[in-house]
Amino acid sequence: MIQAVRDALRLPDLRRRLFYTLLILVIFRAASHVPVPGIDREALRSLTGGAAQLVNILDLLSGGAVAEYSVLANGVYPYINASIIIQLLVPVIPALKRLAEEGEAGRRKLNQWTYYLTIPLGMLQAWGQAQLFNSAAARPVLPNFGFHRAEFVLPTISVLIAMTAGTMFAIWLGELISEQGIGNGLSLIIFGGIVARTPANVARIYTTDGFLGILFFLIITALVVFVIVYVQEGERRIPVQYGKRVRGRRMYGGGSTYIPLRVNMAGMIPLIFAQSLLTLPAVVAQFFANSSNINVARVAADIMNFFSGHTVEWYTTLFYAVLYFAAVVGFTYFYTFVLVEQQNLPENLQKYGGFIPGIRPGKATADYINGIYKRITLFGALFLGGVAVLPFIVQLVMNTRVLLITSAGLLIVVGVVVDTMRQLEAQLLMRHYEGFIR
């Protein structure tokens, strides 16, 4: 692999792409430290308990910018949400479905609408984060935020515009990487933020558990990476036969191939859905945490701590882990079958003269493919659920939930590394070099 890296760096165009990708990541990390206008950093550091846990959750997809409350604190999360919404609406709205079937021009139009939807979602998320931090900290993180006073209007608008512009800037940087660099740009931006927090996690583990703790978590991380790669690359291959067609004096078609059905087709989207759903009660409870009614404030604090995963008693930790596991499994099935519905494999097979040996075309083929998906998705859903609750299992065993990289982060990191290595391998194979993956 080291020799392959050296070969890649010898190629001028590939070397330029690698350094270009690195430069964009450096720019993103530098911009992640540009603060939001009017922020009180001392108040931001006072976040504790469930609020601090919420910051860690939001920090994941921002590429590490939420902890600093920078102009990139929204990260690319609004764009991801907009993409998911458009993707879910495609099979429901006929006009969107027709656009999706128009090829490249239709995809460009859908991407344009995704960008339009990202702007209001970015402003809503900026507003929600500001309200969340202001209500959770000992004193307001943004003391001049809100529309309840006339003198706060312009500072509030400047914060919303700055954070929304930061989101669009992060998306633009990601697209630059995708077009002129190596790998998927948005994924690499999130990847950079996750990896950047690893030294701090190592220091925390060393402080609490010493060298043995670091060794233990290195072993856990290596095992989890192995399992993630094994499951992510797993697929069920369905044989497909294409009939021969005669046109004039020529015969077309014929031959056989297969349809690869991935074990984990949903990727890490179910983790995002489940995490968003379970943190929603905590976000709502934040608004009642400073209530003058002591009982209301106590209940709000309990809800916030529980649904942020910040629990003290082992049985509440176990209950939250089971709830999280069930949510991930449920969303895995939901999102997988949304994707299956969009692919419409039986109709496409019939359109191009393909069929599965021994299975009638049409409804019988659809039932056969759906039956296989139900079986293999069970394994993929249990895998994702296990990865999601790994920190809670570690907490029950070692009384700590600090990992070198979080479980959801590991899914992103492994996926990005494998995808980037494949792109490098493709570039090297074009020039007859030995690749990374053997």
d(CA 310, CA 407): 16
pLDDT, tens digit, 9 for 90 and up, residues 49-67: 445 555 666 666 565 667 6
pTM beyond 0.85: the answer is: no
**163 and 113 in a common domain:** yes
Beta strands, E only, 17-134: none
Query: pLDDT band for position 435 (50/70/90)?
Result: very low
**295 and 161 in a common domain:** no
Last residue of a domain, one of 144, 171, 197: 197
**209 and 184 in a common domain:** no
Q: Which of 158-172, 365-379, 386-400 has the highest mean pLDDT?
A: 158-172
CATH of the domain at 221: 1.10.3370.10
Tell whether 430 is covered by a domain: no
**157 and 123 in a common domain:** yes
> How many structural domains compose the chain?
2
Tell whether 437 is covered by a domain: no
**120 and 76 in a common domain:** yes
Sheet of 354-355, strands arranged across:
256-262, 235-242, 354-355
Asked whether the predicted pLDDT for residue 179 surpasses 80, the reply is yes
**71 and 127 in a common domain:** yes
Query: pLDDT band for position 119 (50/70/90)?
Result: very high
**186 and 46 in a common domain:** yes
Last residue of a domain, one of 197, 217, 243: 197
Q: Which residue has the higher pLDDT, 123 or 390?
A: 123
Backbone phi, psi, residue 48, to 5°: -135, 170
Last residue of a domain, one of 197, 215, 230: 197
Residue 290 belongs to domain spanning: 199-404
**165 and 245 in a common domain:** no
**233 and 139 in a common domain:** no
Rounded alpha-carbon distances, angstroms, from residue 196 to 70, 171, 211? 16, 19, 21
d(CA 177, CA 182): 6
**227 and 361 in a common domain:** yes
Tell whether 428 is covered by a domain: no
pLDDT, tens digit, 9 for 90 and up, residues 422-432: 777 777 777 65
Q: Residue 237 in 3-state DSSP?
A: strand
Which run of H or E residues covers position 235? strand 235-242
Nearest to 65 by CA among 188, 166, 140, 203: 166
**319 and 212 in a common domain:** yes
